Amino acid sequence: MAKPTNLTNGHTCCEHHSEVPASLEAREAQIAYHFSEIMKVLGLDLNDPSLRDTPKRVAKMYLRELFIGLNPENEPQIRLFPNTLRYHQMVIEKEIRVRSVCEHHFVPIIGVAHVAYIPREWIVGLSKLNRIVDYFSRRPQVQERLTEQIADFLQQNLATPDVAVVIDAKHYCVSMRGIQDEASRTLTYSFRGAFEQKDIQDTFLRMVGL
């Protein structure tokens, strides 16, 4: 089997819309302007020294930190290595930090992901699994989509059908608003290929403590 190449993932990006400025600086300025208008509607005093630069800070945070996963240029570059050891058992990276934002209310989703795959002809550097989770997390998300996007990317780029993804996260749209349940967590999973078999699935879940 030939070494796989990175595939596009069908993600829409804000830069695809013609009304969005091309440069990062122009986009930051536009976000800062609109956020300042929101602050004014809330009755906040933008002349207050503590608030004066908040719109700029928010714009910078959105484009350079929280939502960098919207830019396809930030997609992780996956370097694969031949599976010369012929290792064909599961490889698990557990408790990968998830930092995302709920697309319904723009408040945090914080949790962990447990990711596994069974290599065939290729293996991947372990840190790349963390980078994949981080890339798809850093955009407005729903947890179900995030889980499937990670699994899709792993299958496409690792040339194996056998992948598993579990995300265990706290949604601040649940704990800070509405029902305001601070204790609840959300678990989602995607089991592909061999991980659909109950014995393999049970082994994976046991090893990640679920």
For the residues 83-99, what does the mean pLDDT come to? 97
Query: Total domain count for the chain?
Result: 2
CATH value at residue 142: 3.30.1130.10
- Tokens 């991980």 belong to 195
Residues 85 and 153 in one domain: yes
pLDDT 10s digits, 51-76: 999 999 999 999 999 999 999 999 99
As annotated, the active-site residues are: 102-105, 143, 171, 173
pLDDT 10s digits, 95-127: 999 999 999 999 999 999 999 999 999 999 999
pLDDT for position 21 = 73
Residues 57 and 160 in one domain: no
Region for residue 163 given its phi and psi (left: phi exceeds 0; alpha: psi -120 to 50; beta: otherwise) = beta
Residues 118 and 21 in one domain: no
**Residues ≥6 apart with Cβ < 8 Å to 31:** 55, 58, 59, 62, 63
pTM > 0.75: yes or no: yes
Q: Which of 2-11, 33-42, 170-179, 196-205 has the lowest mean pLDDT?
A: 2-11
Domain annotation covers residue 145: yes
User: Which residues form the domain of 125?
Assistant: 77-207
Q: How far apart are the C-alpha atoms of 86 and 82, rounded to whole Å? A: 9
H helix intervals, 73-197 = 126-137, 143-158, 172-175
Residues 81 and 62 in one domain: no
Residues 62 and 166 in one domain: no
